[in-house]
Amino acid sequence: METGKSERLRSLPAVDAVMRDQAGAALADRHGRAAATSAVRGVLEDLRARISAGEEPAVTESGVVALASKLLSGRSLRRVVNATGVVLHTNLGRSVLSEAAVAAVVEAATRYSNLEYDVALGKRGSRYDRAVPLLTELTGTEDALVVNNCAGATLLALAAVVGEGGGEPEVIVSRGQLIEIGGGFRIPEVLALSGARLREVGTTNRTRLSDYEEAINENTRAILWVHPSNFEIQGFTESVGVAELAPLGLPVIADVGSGALIPFGDEPLVGDAVKDGAALTIFSGDKLLGGPQAGIVVGDSSLVSAMRRHPLARALRADKLCLAALEATLTSYLEDTATQELPTLRMLRAPEYEARGVAEGLALALSREDFGLEVDVAPSVARSGGGTLPLYEIPSFAVRLGGVEAKTLAEKMRASDPPVVGRVHEGRVWLDARTLLPGDEEAVVAAVRGALG
């Protein structure tokens, strides 16, 4: 037994030998030598561990390369089937772009463009020339700016209001809004980075207008109002809205987060913050807007100009692919076709019976094949996700797969190509229909076939 093991260990090829092999060389051509070598080394270490543990895996040089190749393609950015029911799933890429946005991205990517060129005048223009009028029109503001993401926009807005004038600049924030959004984006840290001193007012559960009034002094530059997004305080609470803060005479910077241009659940509308008098309103491009990752700022021209002039603006600027997708997305809103054209909005707003229809179609396709599974359709709860209220529930339907070990089935479905990501709940795999896109049904059936075949 032990001799078999040591023989097997000895028979493992060396990393160099695998890389010299024709298949190894091809792998290096495709993925780069360093990545390919490291993947091969990883596969060999894994095989060594399995042999030492008493397993008897088949080992050939081409087999090692095949495993390394699978490992490397699994690492590249690729399609995943989202069967979680979380529409704006940050880990799965948040928004899905409209056809028009994709076409605009392809054109901007494969051709030269008027990115920073005024074609009529034959001279330099601004990369924001097209997005700004769309944004000001849609939100009823004087000016707008687009940067890399919402966190960047908040940082830049704070840095810009702080940058004007000397002294020890302060920004007032309610203690109920000193939040962490996720991924380490914490309001107190962003404020520190901007150079402003944080002036906390109120308590975690209650902040009154008088708290703000008492905190204002000659160093106060702005009031930051943050949508609590991903958490909720219930019970004995009190907070102050933008409409009450605006008359205090200081610029109110409203980070509304998800950026709904049209009503969705209880989400604050961008237009409401603007109407309530926010000097700057900030929101994400890839949450409820349904566009590309971007941080969008709309508001008073003097402050937006200050942001544009700030050195950080260049560091945070939006790239041409983002701007192409954003312009196409905003055009859908302007033409009043957003709810039909933007897949993210469609998924969020589809009536329950549509989700049920998709679930029943998928269940039927799965039952047609003899997988030996227990397949049924059950009501489920989908979520908007993406930093918007995670407590916000959208009624949905899911296909449930039972009669097998759920965790193992879910794992195998994730190892499929494309991977299918569902939920394990009550001993079954739940595939929520709300987040399935056209073409996903075949991928799910193939994943189940691969897992059980």
Contacting residues toward ligand PLP, per CB under 6 A: 149-151, 181, 185, 226-227, 229, 255, 257-258, 284, 295, 387
CB of 146 vs ligand PLP, minimal distance in Å: 12
Q: Among residues 135 and 226, whose Cβ is nearest to ligand PLP?
A: 226
Residue whose C-alpha is closest to residue 277's, from 296, 254, 305: 254
Residues 398, 302 contacting (CB under 8 angstroms)? no
Give residue number: closest CB to ligand PLP. Answer: 257
**What phi, psi does 96 have (nearest 5°)?**
-110, 130
Q: Among residues 148 and 332, whose Cβ is nearest to ligand PLP?
A: 148
Residue whose C-alpha is closest to residue 325's, from 293, 348, 298, 283: 293
Q: Among residues 317 and 428, whose Cβ is nearest to ligand PLP?
A: 317
Q: Among residues 82 and 284, whose Cβ is nearest to ligand PLP?
A: 284
Q: Among residues 226 and 322, whose Cβ is nearest to ligand PLP?
A: 226
CB of 171 vs ligand PLP, minimal distance in Å: 15
CB of 179 vs ligand PLP, minimal distance in Å: 8
Q: Among residues 85 and 385, whose Cβ is nearest to ligand PLP?
A: 385
CB of 301 vs ligand PLP, minimal distance in Å: 23
Q: Among residues 151 and 245, whose Cβ is nearest to ligand PLP?
A: 151
Q: Among residues 19 and 151, whose Cβ is nearest to ligand PLP?
A: 151
CB of 342 vs ligand PLP, minimal distance in Å: 17
What residue type is 83 in one-letter code?
A
Q: Among residues 387 and 422, whose Cβ is nearest to ligand PLP?
A: 387
Report the distance separating Cα 226 and Cα 304, nearest Å: 18
Q: Among residues 281 and 284, whose Cβ is nearest to ligand PLP?
A: 284
CB of 150 vs ligand PLP, minimal distance in Å: 3
CB of 281 vs ligand PLP, minimal distance in Å: 11
Q: Among residues 385 and 422, whose Cβ is nearest to ligand PLP?
A: 385
CB of 254 vs ligand PLP, minimal distance in Å: 9
For the chain, give the secondary structure using H, E and C.
CHHHHHHHHHHCCCHHHHHHCHHHHHHHHHHCHHHHHHHHHHHHHHHHHHHHCCCCCCCCHHHHHHHHHHHHHHHCCCCCEECCCEEECHHHCCCCCCHHHHHHHHHHHHCCCCCCEECCCCEECCCCCCHHHHHHHHHCCCEEEEECCHHHHHHHHHHHHHHCCCCCCEEEEEHHHCCECCCCCEHHHHHHHHCCEEEEECCCCECCHHHHHHHCCCCEEEEEEECCCCCCCCCCCECCCHHHHHHHCCCEEEEEECCECCCCCCCCEHHHHHHCCCCEEEEECCCCCCCCCCEEEEECHHHHHHHHHCHHHHHCECCHHHHHHHHHHHHHHHCCCHHHHCHHHHHHHCCHHHHHHHHHHHHHHHHHCCCCCEEEEEEEEEEEECCCCCCCEEEEEEEEEECCCHHHHHHHHHCCCCCEECEEECCEEEEEHHHCCCCHHHHHHHHHHHHHC
Report the distance separating Cα 330 and Cα 147, nearest Å: 15
CB of 151 vs ligand PLP, minimal distance in Å: 4
CB of 104 vs ligand PLP, minimal distance in Å: 20
CB of 227 vs ligand PLP, minimal distance in Å: 4
